[in-house]
Structure 1
Amino acid sequence: MTNAMWMRGVEWLAAATPDPSARRREWDLGDGTVLLEAGRHWDMVSVPRQLGLLALDILWYDPLRAPGPTLVDSAACRVGFFVPPDPVGRWVGAGIRHASRGSWVAVPPPCRPARSVEWIVPPDGSGALHPPLPLELALRRAHETLAVLTPVSAD
């Protein structure tokens, strides 16, 4: 990621808050993450790590579209996909969480990880997000793949 893209990513993320300059200072002076409210410029769909990484891999197969901003939280074992506010996708399923207006998300700056949270696909500042339908389809395919790979207990 170039320095200009990193700066545009920082500005785009900070714009989701009432006081963007305060968020930028927190990234510079704090422990690395800031809490950003979902629902203004983006929502976040958070899924278990294995499901999310497989879905992201499926999304990379589309030669016409790069995946949108995506976080991984190693401590919580979750992957977060940034989607448009109030997407039409049905975010239902075991372990799937939809953070929208009124929800807060710990976000590191696009250039570096912070504690256990880091960007897999950092925002480039363009405002590009994961389109809901391709993400929903990728999550379904990933879930189906994991269901086949998960051994059945013989209890």
Structure 2
Amino acid sequence: MTNTMWMRGVEWLAASAADPRACKWEWDHGEGIALLEAGRFWDVLSVPERLGLLTLDLLWRPGLPVPGPTLVDTKAGRVGFLLPPDPSAAWVGAGLRYATKGSWVSVPPPYRPARSLEWLIPPDGTGALHAPGTLEEALREANGTLAVLAPLCGR
């Protein structure tokens, strides 16, 4: 990612903060994590880490668009996919959590990890997000793969 793309990613992400200047200061000089409200520019679908990493791998297939911004929280064992805002979305599944308007998300800067949070795919500043249909299809496939592997891993 070029320096210009990093800067555009920072500006785009910070724009979702109540005070973008304070958000960028926190990233650079504070704890390195900002609390940003979902539902304005993006929502977040958070899934268990194993499912999320396999899903992200499936999204890198040839012919599919580059996946959207994706976070990992290694301490919580979760992967978060940024999606277009949709307060009526109904994501159903074991371990799925959907953050939309009124939900707050801990976010590191796009250019470095902070504590247990880091971007697997940082925002590039264009506003590109995961396509809900494509993400749902990859989640279903990943979940099916994990269901098949579970008995084998338990031996």
TM-score range normalised by the length of the shorter chain: over 0.9
Cα distance between partner residues in 2 of 1:142 and 1:153 = 16
1:124 equivalenced with 2:124 (yes/no): yes
1:22 equivalenced with 2:5 (yes/no): no
Equivalent residue, structure 2, for 1:114: 114
Alpha-carbon displacement from aligned partner over 1:89-110 (angstroms, at most 9, x marks no partner): 6411000000000111110001
Paired residue total: 154
Q: What residue identity is the alignment partner of 1:8?
A: R
- Identify unmatched segments of 5+ residues in structure 1: none
Cα distance between partner residues in 2 of 1:49 and 1:37 = 22
Q: CA deviation at 1:63?
A: 2.6
Equivalent residue, structure 2, for 1:140: 140
Alpha-carbon displacement from aligned partner over 1:13-57 (angstroms, at most 9, x marks no partner): 011122111111111111111100000000000000000000001
Larger CA deviation: 128-137 vs 145-154:
145-154
| Contact 1:68–1:130 under 8 Å retained in 2 | yes
1:49 equivalenced with 2:11 (yes/no): no
Equivalent residue, structure 1, for 2:59: 59
| Contact 1:39–1:86 under 8 Å retained in 2 | yes
| Contact 1:88–1:132 under 8 Å retained in 2 | no
| Contact 1:87–1:132 under 8 Å retained in 2 | no
Q: What residue identity is the alignment partner of 1:9?
A: G
The residue matched to 1:32 in structure 2 has which SS? coil
| Contact 2:16–2:41 under 8 Å retained in 1 | yes
User: Structure 1: which 4+ aligned runs deviate by more than 6 Å?
Assistant: none
Q: CA RMSD in A?
A: 1.7
| Contact 2:37–2:104 under 8 Å retained in 1 | yes
Q: What residue identity is the alignment partner of 1:71?
A: L
- Identify unmatched segments of 5+ residues in structure 2: none
Q: CA deviation at 1:80?
A: 0.2
Q: What residue identity is the alignment partner of 2:34?
A: V
| Contact 2:69–2:119 under 8 Å retained in 1 | yes
The residue matched to 2:151 in structure 1 has which SS? coil
Equivalent residue, structure 2, for 1:9: 9
The residue matched to 1:123 in structure 2 has which SS? coil
Identity of aligned residues (%): 66
